[in-house]
Structure 1
Amino acid sequence: EADWWRRGESPAPAATVVDVDEVRGSGEEGTEVVALLESERPEEGTKSSGLGVCEWLLVLTSLLFIIVTFPFSIWFCIKVAQEYERVLIFRLGHLLPGRAKGPGLFFFLPCLDTYHKVDLRLQTLEIPFHEVVTKDMFIMEIDAICYYRMENASLLLNSLAHVPRAVQFLVQTTMKRLLAHRSLTEILLERKSIAQDIKVALDAVTCIWGIKVERTE
């Protein structure tokens, strides 16, 4: 038995354990919690396995060539990222470790590296009209506008190929799922609360993609 009470010491704080299965079974309220828990896990495919011996030889050869041809070569190795841009560099197909580059100057090897710029400014996506069946079996056509921004460039490029299309389909399916539990009268009278519920549900998924939904209308 523990004898902390004999020595007058306070017990060690118990560790907090989150039962993921219980959260999953708690309904829509647990959706965002589960997504945040899963986003903390190391994402497969976002970590580079490192360069091999032959690849390092190519890198060293390229660096040697840049040094020999300096200062002319420096004009081909330096690029500029704007204040609202972040840059990811892939070297021989491997994502370079560390944070995204920018804003300002960044260095890359022209023969071995490819870079991708991600715009962090607020994006607007118009969701076309689509049919929704309400709780009281009314069929209505609705549209929406989604405002979102890129937050994690590394997750974004490794998760999605077509961001607008993925966000559009996600908004449509989320609206169909949430509005199916509300009557036509509730939809007409509770537009603000419904928009907030849609935003929370979208954030629960898009946070794993590196996207932040600002608002939906």
Structure 2
Amino acid sequence: MSSALMFLLILVVVFLAASLKVLREYERAVVFQLGRFWKVKGPGLFILIPILQQMVRVDLRTIVLDVPTQDVISRDNVSVKVNAVIYYRVVDAAKTVIQVENAAAATSQLSQTTLRSVLGKHDLDEMLSERDKLNKDIQTILDAQTDAWGIKVANVEIKHVDIPESMIRAIARQAEAERERRAKIIHAEGEYQASEKLVDAARVLAGAPAAIQLRYLQTLTDIAGEKNSTIIFPLPIDLLQGFMNWQKPDSRE
């Protein structure tokens, strides 16, 4: 009797050891009973009936997925190499286990094809200057397609866009030409504004002839303040008007 009791006690201990399961805070157990989905358990301590019930452990923490470098042809026919990183997590453990065989591999393959298809619809300039918009578009598409797998795509970041060397030189020439264009426009606008101010000044001086003489004196003062040997004598045009009229023949003669 003692041997049978000891055997029974060992059997109970082994059964309890196999039945008691402990899950961490970030883990869930998808439990199947006789092959059929039963429920999701965890976290903490729970009992799993051996043989009759089996469980699949699922991690709910955010997973960082590094998307391999993809060859992308942009809308303006430029070949570039692009890689990205995706942050996702499981929000429905039952769907992740039942609906897809390998959620990580499926998400990785889907992210690669989505990255190529989305970037292929944009020009190279948009890839370089509108990364936030592209990240949002890729995230929206991935999140919609992985929702059936119980996966939530939290964020997508395009890490690097590798441009061919010839295209880098072309972009540099384009940027230099753009800067020269802007410089010419700014210079032309400055000349235009200066001409407007000169016209306004001429109108003011025309209304007060004495102001012209004051301007002459101010110019002489500025020149005298510099160390040079140039001497300028302003000669009013009114004094020359008489000589000019004297040299003209009289039409009445």
Coarse TM-score class (shorter-chain normalised): 0.5 to 0.7
Match of 1:143 in 2: 83
Larger helix share, 1 or 2: 2
C-alpha offsets along residues 73-107 of structure 1, whole Å, 9 cap, x if unaligned?
Answer: 333211101100000111221111x4x10011121
Gaps of 5+ in 1: 1-65
Q: Determine if the alignment matches structure 1 residue 120 to structure 2 residue 77.
A: no
Name the counterpart of 2:30.
88
Q: Deviations over 1:123-148 (max 9, x none)?
A: 01111111111110111111111111
Report SS of the residue matched to 2:30: strand
1:131 — aligned with what? Answer: 71
Are 2:103 and 1:169 equivalent residues in the alignment?
no
Percent identical pairs in the alignment equals 36
Aligned to 2:143: 203
Amino acid across the alignment from 2:31:
I
TM-score (norm 1): 0.65
**Pairs aligned (count):** 149
Moved over 2 A (4+): 69-76
**Displacement of 1:72 after TM fit?**
6.0
Matches within 5 A, 1:1-217: 73-96=15-38, 98=39, 100-217=40-157
Distance 2:20 2:129 in 1: 56
The residue type equivalent to 1:78 in the other structure is L
Letter in 1 for 2:144: A
Corresponding letter in the other structure for 1:175: L
Give CA deviations for 1:4-44 in whole Å, capped at 9, x if unaligned. Answer: xxxxxxxxxxxxxxxxxxxxxxxxxxxxxxxxxxxxxxxxx
CA distance in 2, matches of 1:123, 1:114: 25
Provide the TM-score with structure 2 as the length reference.
0.56
Q: Any idea what SS the aligned residue of 1:73 has?
A: helix
Post-superposition offset of 1:176: 1.5
1:54-82 superposed Cα distances (whole Å, 9 cap, x missing partner): xxxxxxxxxxxx9xx65663332111011
Structure 2 unmatched ranges of 5 or more: 1-7, 158-253
Contact 2:103 2:149 in 1 (8 A): no
RMSD of equivalent CA atoms: 1.9
- Looking at structure 2, the residues matched to 190 and 81 of structure 1 have their Cα atoms a distance apart, in angstroms, of 43
Q: Which has the higher contact order (CA 8 A, sep 6+)?
A: 1
Cα distance in 2 for residues equivalent to 1:174 and 1:78? 43
